[in-house]
Every structure is written in structure tokens, then in C-alpha cells.
């Protein structure tokens, strides 16, 4: 589904869900009742804890913006790492 069809489907869902409201109010109600709570749930402060054999090591607070940045530049950083540190990625040490 492309983005245009997605938007059209939201309009149709709003019309069917709230037929007593005009289109504008139906879309507002759909967004405020379903999409905004979903957005809030996805953006809650998430903490990832790392433990080993019941010993606390560290924790990282998940940040969606940083995650998106790493997804965007991650392949480039990996290629740079493989170029400058081939012995760590190949498993063979060459001098």
C-alpha cells in the first residue's frame, strides 16, 4: 500500500467509524482516539537493561530519533569499520 492509499483509507475508516460526524470531525476523532495514544505508547521512555548471570552491566534508554539515525548511517559506518579494521571482521590477523 502506498502512502496515498493509506491516507484515503484513513478517511474511509473515519467515515465508517463515525458516520454521524462530518468528515473533518470524524478524522479528528479517529486520530485523537486511536493514533495519538498509539504514538504515545510507541514513544514512551524505553530502557533496555543488559545483565549477565544475574549481574547488572548497564542500561540504555531507547531513543527513536537516534535509532532512525543509526538505521540511516549504519551501513556506511559498517563499511568504514570493515575497511579500516579488516582483521576484526575477517577473523584473521594479518601484519
Task: Give the residue extent of every domain in the chain.
Answer: 3-42, 46-90
Q: Check if the beta carbon of residue 48 is closer than 8 Å to that of residue 67.
A: no
Q: Check if the beta carbon of residue 81 is closer than 8 Å to that of residue 74.
A: no
* Tens of pLDDT, residues 32-69: 998 888 777 766 656 666 677 767 666 667 677 777 77
Count of CA atoms in the C-beta half-sphere (13 A) of 26 = 15
- Whole-model pTM over 0.85: no
Q: What is the pLDDT of residue 49?
A: 65
Q: Check if the beta carbon of residue 10 is closer than 8 Å to that of residue 4.
A: no
Q: What is the pLDDT of residue 95?
A: 57
Q: What is the pLDDT of residue 66?
A: 74
Whole-number average pLDDT of the chain: 79
Residue 70 has pLDDT above 70, yes or no: yes
Amino acid at each position: 500500500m502506498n502512502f496515498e492509499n493509506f491516507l484515503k483509507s484513513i478517511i474511509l475508516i473515519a467515515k465508517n467509524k463515525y458516520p454521524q460526524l462530518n468528515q473533518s470531525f470524524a478524522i479528528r476523532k479517529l486520530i485523537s482516539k486511536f493514533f495519538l495514544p498509539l504514538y504515545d505508547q510507541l514513544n514512551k521512555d524505553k530502557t533496555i537493561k543488559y545483565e549477565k548471570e544475574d549481574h547488572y552491566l548497564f542500561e540504555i534508554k531507547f531513543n527513536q530519533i537516534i535509532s532512525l539515525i543509526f538505521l540511516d548511517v549504519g551501513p556506511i559506518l559498517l563499511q568504514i569499520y570493515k575497511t579500516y579494521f579488516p582483521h576484526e571482521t575477517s577473523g584473521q590477523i594479518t601484519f
